[in-house]
């Protein structure tokens, strides 16, 4: 089992901590409520804590499942873990099989897009609907908005920033909010405490490396997006995201022409933290109309 740490505020995160013992390490998850399955798939430096508002809003009528990827949140953080997007996707598939999750609504964001949608591409009949926001699933390196910072961060300097100084959670995260005041000290502490030192931050730096290296994996996924073209979907987008701007949303709209589209003008990258009530309502509507 994975014991919840003393710094975890149970008034904010009132869920039972559960453990999936994968061969790569123990993975923490929550499984709350009954009804249609909603599976939340986070990115970096996020973990299931970020989905707490959505889980609390939906668990009265839905089965809400949220796992912490290996290297994140309350899951194990092995020093030599495989933190590639492909490895995260494979572990998520094992987790889905382990719980026997069926007829899933996938909610994916940030790196969670390439991680979670792999299941939809391989098992489209097991996915009822898709919710995606501020994410991507194609090679980012041809876009200089990503390739330029990636070149800097994929260096000894970037490694220092991420591993020693916690750049991902201390700098990138607050910068990605549309309204930085929403990331209160109390909330931010739950992300900082999950990544307290250099040894615990290997997975966050691996994400930097994946921006440069996972292009072929993402492009292969994107080539098969036609499998999901008619799937009920919701594209939600925080329009003040400094790192994943609205033009990325247009690519998703073209790939999923039947999807509902909701934009959040005042939200940044972390829509589930910034506009959780509206996002939960939109998810509830999608599930109701797609079942």
Q: What is the pLDDT of residues 55-92, one digit of tens each?
A: 999 999 999 999 999 999 999 999 999 999 999 999 99
- The mean per-residue pLDDT over the stretch 126-130 comes to 98
Which tens digit of pLDDT belongs to each residue from 228-248? 999 999 999 999 999 999 999
Which tens digit of pLDDT belongs to each residue from 154-180? 999 999 999 999 999 999 999 999 999
Catalytic entry in 110, 119, 139, 272: 110
Q: φ, ψ for residue 161 (rounded to 5)?
A: -60, -45
Residue 2, pLDDT score: 79
Angstrom distance (rounded) from CA 230 to CA 125: 12
Specify the DSSP element, H or E, that contains 96: helix 85-99
- Please give the structure tokens belonging to residue 256: 């999923």
Average pLDDT in the chain = 96
Q: φ, ψ for residue 68 (rounded to 5)?
A: -90, 120
Residue 91, pLDDT score: 98
Pairing of β 25-32 and β 63-67:
antiparallel
DSSP per-residue letters across 221-247: HHHTGGGGTTS-EEEEEETT-SSS-HH
Catalytic entry in 68, 76, 139, 241: 241
- Examine the residue annotation and report whether 269 is marked as an active-site residue of this protein: yes
Residue 4, pLDDT score: 85
Supply the pTM of this predicted model: 0.97
Q: Would you state the torsion angle of the CA atoms of residues 196, 8, 40, 79, taken in this order, to the nearest 10 degrees?
A: 30
Catalytic entry in 42, 62, 269, 272: 269
- Please give the structure tokens belonging to residue 127: 């996915």
- Examine the residue annotation and report whether 31 is marked as an active-site residue of this protein: no
- Of 28, 106, 30, 110, the C-alpha closest to 71 is 28
Specify the DSSP element, H or E, that contains 22: strand 18-22
- Which domains does the chain carry? 18-290 (3.40.50.1820)
Is residue 1 predicted with pLDDT exceeding 90?
no
Bridge partners (DSSP) of residue 107 are 40, 131
- Examine the residue annotation and report whether 68 is marked as an active-site residue of this protein: no
Complete edge-to-edge strand list for the sheet that includes strand 63-67: 18-22, 25-32, 63-67, 37-41, 104-110, 127-135, 233-238, 260-264
Residue 118 near residue 225 (C-beta atoms within 8 A): no
The share of the chain scoring above pLDDT 90, in percent, equals 96
Angstrom distance (rounded) from CA 220 to CA 138: 8
């Amino acid at each position: 089992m994975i014991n919840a740490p003393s710094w975890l505020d149970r008034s904010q995160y009132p869920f039972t901590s559960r453990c999936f013992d994968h061969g790569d390490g123990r993975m923490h998850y929550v499984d709350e409520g009954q009804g249609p399955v909603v599976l939340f798939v986070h990115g970096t430096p996020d973990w299931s804590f970020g989905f707490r508002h959505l889980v609390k809003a939906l668990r009265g009528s839905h089965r809400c499942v949220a796992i912490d990827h290996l290297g994140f949140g309350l899951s194990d953080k092995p020093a030599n873990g495989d933190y590639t997007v492909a490895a995260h996707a494979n572990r998520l598939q094992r987790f889905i099989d382990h719980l026997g999750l069926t007829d899933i609504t996938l909610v994916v964001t940030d790196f969670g897009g390439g991680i979670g949608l792999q299941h939809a591409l391989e098992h489209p009949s097991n996915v009822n609907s898709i919710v995606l926001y501020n994410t991507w699933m194609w090679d980012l390196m041809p876009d200089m908005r990503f390739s330029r910072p990636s070149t800097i961060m994929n260096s000894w300097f970037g490694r220092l920033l991420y591993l020693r100084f916690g750049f991902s959670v201390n700098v990138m995260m607050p910068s990605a909010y549309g309204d930085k005041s929403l990331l209160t000290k109390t909330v931010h502490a739950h992300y900082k405490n999950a990544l307290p030192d250099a040894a615990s931050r290997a997975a966050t730096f691996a994400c930097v490396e994946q921006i440069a290296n996972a292009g072929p994996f993402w492009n292969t996924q994107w080539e098969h997006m036609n499998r999901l073209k008619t799937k009920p979907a919701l594209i939600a987008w925080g329009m003040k995201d400094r790192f994943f701007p609205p033009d990325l949303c247009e690519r998703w709209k073209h790939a999923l022409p039947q999807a509902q589209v909701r934009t959040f003008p005042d939200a940044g990258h972390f829509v589930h933290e910034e506009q959780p009530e509206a996002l939960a309502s939109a998810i509830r509507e999608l599930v109701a109309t797609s079942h």
